[in-house]
Structure 1
Amino acid sequence: MSTLSRTFSRSARTLRRPPAAVAVALSAAMLIAGCSGSSGDKDGKPAPGTNSAAPAVGSQQINPQPASKVKQGGTFKTEIQQWVTQWNFYQVDGTQGDGQSIVAQVEPSLFTYDAQGVSQLDKDFLVSATVTSTNPQVVTYTLNPKARWSDGRQLGWQDFATQWKALNGKDDRYLVADTSGYDQISAVTRGTDDQQVKITFGKPYADWKRLFRPLLPAPTIATPELFNKGWLEKVPVTGNSWKISSYDKTAQTITTVPDPHWWGAKPKLDAIIYRAMDASAFTDAYLNKEIDYAPAIQPEDYKRLVKAPGTDIRSGARWDEVHITLNGARGPLQDLAVRQAVDLAIDRQGILASFSKDLPFPVKPLNNHFFMPNQQGYKDNSGKWGTYDLAGAKKLLDAAGWKDNGAGKPRTKDGRSLTLQYVLSAGSSSSATDQAQLVQAQLGAAGIGVKIQTVPSDDYFTKYVNTGAFDLVSFRNVDAIFHTLLYSTFQAPSGSQVYGNYGRVSTPQIQHLLDQAAATTDQTASDALYNQADALIWEQVHSIELYQRPQIIAVRKGLANFGASGLGDWQYNTMGWTS
């Protein structure tokens, strides 16, 4: 992918969709998902360069097996791309995908996604959740009375109320990554007892099922201090079938184990071990049996992994987009004309050709910020801004006063050089590095200098992306099944609070359209509003969409209920070994 992926995890997702916010991830690694059936060689492994169709929406390859056929016991070893420091899913520094996927394993997710990306009630946590009034919109949740936090408390309405107060944006001491949805709630009240909660919205909110997912324990986020710092280096309280048993910073491993106090079906595995390592090390770690799955999307990795004994290649279609973010809050990119020139000077087809060589199915340009090509509602809104036009880029720069100094030299204006900083993670894959170099060469042809700055993987988001210490960066936004998850990505910053809008580019009209879309319960009308906003986002050059990242992964044979899950969630309780 581009370079990273955000949840809008925001590093690579290892197991499960980060549920409540979009995740960001390094494009270097592949965020896992699921699929059913693939074409390929006699071993069922897709061959590089074959012209098979891309996996369709709803497809999965996870080796689905009933729990009765999965052995009790065993360990699953997997990778994460960096050590997790901030574990609060909702805090501005907690959007890294690896951390979010682990939190999704150990905290209550009230709904799960099926293979079609449709939310299903999780009965381990909820007896029911329904819209009980439409004017105003009221959603009533009835909690499973068996559901408890690891400190012994029952899940209750106060957990909802506390989370709402922290996330609704009314107290800017809470450093929140995304207030959308929560800022539409007017009241959270107790129902017939402590295990029933009524959520009242000030105006209709279509994507209510994505809120409180995960639910966090009230005592751990009740004050700004606890919210911002109480989850540093640890998850203080859990509330799911798994808990974290150890954080070994020296070995760079985090281990989760089944919680013996869990009230539902017992997980099959004894432990899941997450090991932090650079993406460049994944393939060797898999071949050395240090981990049990590895991304196989890079041609050089695929060619090695497809031959590995006892290996399945599993592929699927996930909501997973690769893009380049432009920082509109500093330097030359504050000028819309310069951002538009950058857009026109980047040859997306050239980047795709470099990335997709030898893949088993074609990869096409992504021309929408909200919809994937295999989703209902997808429309190409890129217009002229999705077209490579070097001459047009030069004209814009001429008109903006940037002097052309000849081939190989950056343009200048008022004594300043038109040189941009492209920040790249040290853990990036070869495709991410190739992409940065291609962008450098393409922009150079327009007289825009690009300096590639490689920074430590652990610092990439916290010290550079989140803080705006870049001109150009590339990462992935993943799992935005609910489009309101992307609201913060295009939300106007407020003071030092940038939400998920790391490039700090927005307009009142874009935000108004997104507000309208979120309040529109008619799907067709809502899709139309998102597409209107998308056209403006292209024009403002908030970010340049590149492609939907395919899912191609190598997994140990015998591993069931795991793999390329597509739009679906992982089922941690049934995944395990059949042999």
Structure 2
Amino acid sequence: MPRMFGRPVTAVAVALSAVALTAGCGSGSDDAKPDAKKSSAPPAVHAQGINPQPLSKVKQGGTLKMAIHQWISQWNSYQVDGNQGDAQSIVAQVEPSLFHYDAQGASTVDKDFLLSAEVTSTSPQVVTYTLNPKAKWSDGKQLSWQDFATQWKALSGKDDRYLVADTSGYEQISSVTRGVDDQQVKITFGKPYADWKRLFRPLLPAPSIATPELFNKGWLGKVPITGNSWKISGYDKTAQTVSTVPDPNWWGAKPKLDSIIYRALDGSAETDAYLNKEIDYTSAIQPEDYKRLAKSPGTDIRSGARWDEVHITLNGARGPLQDLAVRQAVDLAIDRQGIVAAFSKDLPFPVTPLGNHFFMPNQQGYKDNSGKWGSHDLAGAKKLLDSAGWKDNGAGKPRTKDGKQLTLQYVLSAGSSTSATDQAQLVQAQLGQAGIAVKIQTVPADDYFEKYVHTGAFDLVSFRNVDAIFQTLLYSTFQAPTATQIYGNYGRISTPQIQQLISQAAQTTDQNAAIDLYNQADAQIWDQVHSIELYQRPQILAVRSGLANFGASGLADWDYNAMGWTA
């Protein structure tokens, strides 16, 4: 379930069954079709394929049909069960996003919501937001400083009754106060915070999150109040569709489309749904899908570069993986190069194993910190298991200790793509060579995150983190869990050293110094085998040729007001 529609810049877990769905506005080729000959590198960091068109060439009206990958029950994207891509993306369409991002990942103030936002003091750090007085919520109230204050209260981590996915950034705020009037906000940080632009994006209305009860349960099954150019017009659980339409009370430029319909589909059903014209775009990254989609009449293959990584998360809070030696043995027994080769054999450019949890290879700061944990060393894996007391019972047999077999549960979504299923089976075979039995448990797509990943009912899972352009967006992924909060650290693995490094990096406004701290933390994350990075996932999308300002946007946001059908 990728963070796809509206591209809020937040790190989010994405099931491997999900397609790489992104879009935005900007320059770039919209019809570069991959061919059998591999080029030397994936698209540049700024690459896009969105069929950019001036608004004069986009007709008024029409419907855009998209897929989501499960029915959404929790719509509060800041709540731990709402930290899922489909919910986050649709909420970003209907709630205020104070900044928007271009193809290079550079941010600018969204004038529909903000007249200005700037650092007005450095000691202490104070950020002053001046809201557009025209900006209103769907209940008729103006956006105000109280919305900021209420959101900070909920996300600060000071009250564990708010079950939040991520407190990073908010916990460093010391106060949120009224400025010259209700439409000016002064945010004071107790410690410097470099990535302040990622906070309050989206901004939520104070009345809908003012208490733990409202925060945790007030968004179940619905978005209670909206505040953007679009609003949700219907939820049809029977048809598994959510519909959005332009809000007639919107104060900015009128959207071109009349409606957007999201339909819950398993990833395995999307290619047929596209070919049957039930949806208007889908992933073409799987070789078997690409062959069918590329020859479909009226279809563009649009490609771009995105912050998008595939990894395996290990659960360090239960069973054999509580032992660091066993986690390290799992790491060494997994052949990352073999997994990458199986995934990329028919792609138009080479894919290599990823060596960093914070940076993509096409980002400033990237460094391969995997060291020995990035290599395939079956003998080393066996040696670690021997020393951990797991008896070798011979080829093809699970190791044993204290009468128990060394068996791990790999949880897989029923909607998984072929590559995700192949990956699970490869891991099963690779770990089996070390005497580690792997049972693949396939679970309903709608339950995958809510009932398994979020609750820790797994030993191994694989999903994606996407669009973490700001490294602090990954803070919660590696944050030390507490007795009542796991944040985004589903494997529950951290150390005081990792926590200290990522906290220090978040407070460091010198970019080079922050990069160094993140890379120090990354080396320790590899040592602890929090998760095993596999590869950066490229964007290859099949899109209706008549769709403009839409497709593979790389690091950019979508512009819902500009996307539409060409006249």
TM-score range, shorter chain: over 0.9
Question: In 2, Cα distance between the equivalents of 1:401 and 1:16?
Answer: 50
- In the TM superposition, residue 38 of structure 1 has moved relative to its aligned partner by 6.0
In the alignment, which residue of structure 2 is the partner of 1:14? Answer: 4
In the alignment, which residue of structure 2 is the partner of 1:534? Answer: 522
Q: Is structure 2 residue 13 aligned with structure 1 residue 24?
A: yes
- In the TM superposition, residue 13 of structure 1 has moved relative to its aligned partner by 3.2
- In the TM superposition, residue 413 of structure 1 has moved relative to its aligned partner by 0.4
Question: In 2, Cα distance between the equivalents of 1:97 and 1:37?
Answer: 25
In the alignment, which residue of structure 1 is the partner of 2:151? Answer: 163
How big is each residue's C-alpha offset from its partner over 1:264-309, in whole Å with a ceiling of 9 and x where there is no partner? 0000000000000100000000000000001000000000000000
How big is each residue's C-alpha offset from its partner over 1:102-144, in whole Å with a ceiling of 9 and x where there is no partner? 0000000000111101111000000000000000000000000
Q: Is the Cα contact below 8 Å between 1:117 and 1:481 reproduced in 2?
A: yes
- In the TM superposition, residue 531 of structure 1 has moved relative to its aligned partner by 0.2
Q: Is structure 2 residue 566 aligned with structure 1 residue 578?
A: yes
Question: In 1, Cα distance between the equivalents of 2:535 and 2:98?
Answer: 31
- In the TM superposition, residue 422 of structure 1 has moved relative to its aligned partner by 0.1
Question: In 2, Cα distance between the equivalents of 1:48 and 1:93?
Answer: 41
Q: Is the Cα contact below 8 Å between 2:334 and 2:376 reproduced in 1?
A: yes
Alignment of 1:273-312 (within 5 A): 273-312=261-300
Q: Is structure 2 residue 199 aligned with structure 1 residue 211?
A: yes
Secondary structure of the equivalent of 1:273? strand
In the alignment, which residue of structure 2 is the partner of 1:463? Answer: 451
- In the TM superposition, residue 29 of structure 1 has moved relative to its aligned partner by 2.3
- In the TM superposition, residue 558 of structure 1 has moved relative to its aligned partner by 1.3
In the alignment, which residue of structure 1 is the partner of 2:540? Answer: 552
In the alignment, which residue of structure 2 is the partner of 1:154? Answer: 142
In the alignment, which residue of structure 1 is the partner of 2:409? Answer: 421
In the alignment, which residue of structure 2 is the partner of 1:390? Answer: 378
Give the letter aligned to residue 215 of structure 1: L
Secondary structure of the equivalent of 2:365? coil
- In the TM superposition, residue 47 of structure 1 has moved relative to its aligned partner by 1.3
- In the TM superposition, residue 444 of structure 1 has moved relative to its aligned partner by 0.2
- In the TM superposition, residue 496 of structure 1 has moved relative to its aligned partner by 2.8
Question: In 1, Cα distance between the equivalents of 2:125 and 2:84?
Answer: 32
Q: Is structure 2 residue 131 aligned with structure 1 residue 143?
A: yes
From 322, 329, 349, give the equivalent of 1:334.
322
- In the TM superposition, residue 28 of structure 1 has moved relative to its aligned partner by 1.9
In the alignment, which residue of structure 2 is the partner of 1:59? Answer: 47
Q: Is structure 2 residue 557 aligned with structure 1 residue 569?
A: yes
From 214, 224, 236, give the equivalent of 1:236.
224
- In the TM superposition, residue 357 of structure 1 has moved relative to its aligned partner by 1.2
Q: Is structure 2 residue 302 aligned with structure 1 residue 314?
A: yes
Return closer, same or farther for 1:185/1:252 CA change in 2, 3 Å cut-off: same
Give the letter aligned to residue 23 of structure 1: V
Secondary structure of the equivalent of 2:521? helix
- In the TM superposition, residue 18 of structure 1 has moved relative to its aligned partner by 2.9
Give the letter aligned to residue 465 of structure 2: N
Secondary structure of the equivalent of 2:520? helix
- In the TM superposition, residue 94 of structure 1 has moved relative to its aligned partner by 0.4
Q: Is the Cα contact below 8 Å between 1:33 and 1:316 reproduced in 2?
A: no
Q: Is structure 2 residue 398 aligned with structure 1 residue 444?
A: no
In the alignment, which residue of structure 1 is the partner of 2:363? Answer: 375
Question: In 1, Cα distance between the equivalents of 2:28 and 2:40?
Answer: 12
Give the letter aligned to residue 144 of structure 2: G
How big is each residue's C-alpha offset from its partner over 1:356-410, in whole Å with a ceiling of 9 and x where there is no partner? 0111111111100000000000000000000000000000000000000011111
How big is each residue's C-alpha offset from its partner over 1:496-555, in whole Å with a ceiling of 9 and x where there is no partner? 310000000000000100111011001000000000000000000000000000000000
Unmatched runs of 5 consecutive residues or more in structure 2: none
Q: Is structure 2 residue 199 aligned with structure 1 residue 199?
A: no
Give the letter aligned to residue 332 of structure 1: P
From 461, 475, 484, give the equivalent of 1:496.
484
In the alignment, which residue of structure 1 is the partner of 2:234? Answer: 246
In the alignment, which residue of structure 1 is the partner of 2:392? Answer: 404
Secondary structure of the equivalent of 2:82? coil
Unmatched runs of 5 consecutive residues or more in structure 1: 1-10
How big is each residue's C-alpha offset from its partner over 1:392-433, in whole Å with a ceiling of 9 and x where there is no partner? 000000000000001111100011110000000000000000
Return closer, same or farther for 1:36/1:347 CA change in 2, 3 Å cut-off: farther
Return closer, same or farther for 1:558/1:348 CA change in 2, 3 Å cut-off: same
Question: In 2, Cα distance between the equivalents of 1:135 and 1:38?
Answer: 45
Q: Is the Cα contact below 8 Å between 2:29 and 2:51 reproduced in 1?
A: no
Q: Is the Cα contact below 8 Å between 2:20 and 2:540 reproduced in 1?
A: no
Q: Is the Cα contact below 8 Å between 1:49 and 1:358 reproduced in 2?
A: no
- In the TM superposition, residue 65 of structure 1 has moved relative to its aligned partner by 1.0
Q: Is structure 2 residue 256 aligned with structure 1 residue 268?
A: yes
The normalised TM-score by structure 2 is: 0.98
In the alignment, which residue of structure 2 is the partner of 1:8? Answer: none
Q: Is the Cα contact below 8 Å between 2:8 and 2:97 reproduced in 1?
A: no
- In the TM superposition, residue 561 of structure 1 has moved relative to its aligned partner by 0.5
Q: Is the Cα contact below 8 Å between 1:16 and 1:32 reproduced in 2?
A: no
Return closer, same or farther for 1:405/1:456 CA change in 2, 3 Å cut-off: same
Secondary structure of the equivalent of 1:212? coil
Q: Is the Cα contact below 8 Å between 2:28 and 2:52 reproduced in 1?
A: no
Give the letter aligned to residue 443 of structure 1: L
In the alignment, which residue of structure 2 is the partner of 1:178? Answer: 166
Q: Is the Cα contact below 8 Å between 2:329 and 2:381 reproduced in 1?
A: yes
Question: In 1, Cα distance between the equivalents of 2:531 and 2:41?
Answer: 28
Give the letter aligned to residue 248 of structure 2: P
Q: Is structure 2 residue 100 aligned with structure 1 residue 126?
A: no
From 37, 42, 46, give the equivalent of 2:34.
46
Q: Is the Cα contact below 8 Å between 1:52 and 1:360 reproduced in 2?
A: no
- In the TM superposition, residue 51 of structure 1 has moved relative to its aligned partner by 2.8
Return closer, same or farther for 1:37/1:157 CA change in 2, 3 Å cut-off: closer
The normalised TM-score by structure 1 is: 0.96
Secondary structure of the equivalent of 2:148? helix
In the alignment, which residue of structure 1 is the partner of 2:67? Answer: 79
Q: Is 318-327 or 358-367 further displaced after alignment?
A: 358-367
Give the letter aligned to residue 321 of structure 2: L
In the alignment, which residue of structure 1 is the partner of 2:100? Answer: 112
Q: Is structure 2 residue 176 aligned with structure 1 residue 188?
A: yes
In the alignment, which residue of structure 2 is the partner of 1:354? Answer: 342
CA-atom RMSD, angstroms? Answer: 1.1
How big is each residue's C-alpha offset from its partner over 1:144-165, in whole Å with a ceiling of 9 and x where there is no partner? 0000000000000000000000
Q: Is structure 2 residue 210 aligned with structure 1 residue 258?
A: no
Question: In 2, Cα distance between the equivalents of 1:120 and 1:38?
Answer: 23
- In the TM superposition, residue 12 of structure 1 has moved relative to its aligned partner by 2.3
Q: Is the Cα contact below 8 Å between 1:278 and 1:457 reproduced in 2?
A: yes
Return closer, same or farther for 1:46/1:37 CA change in 2, 3 Å cut-off: farther
Alignment of 1:90-109 (within 5 A): 90-109=78-97
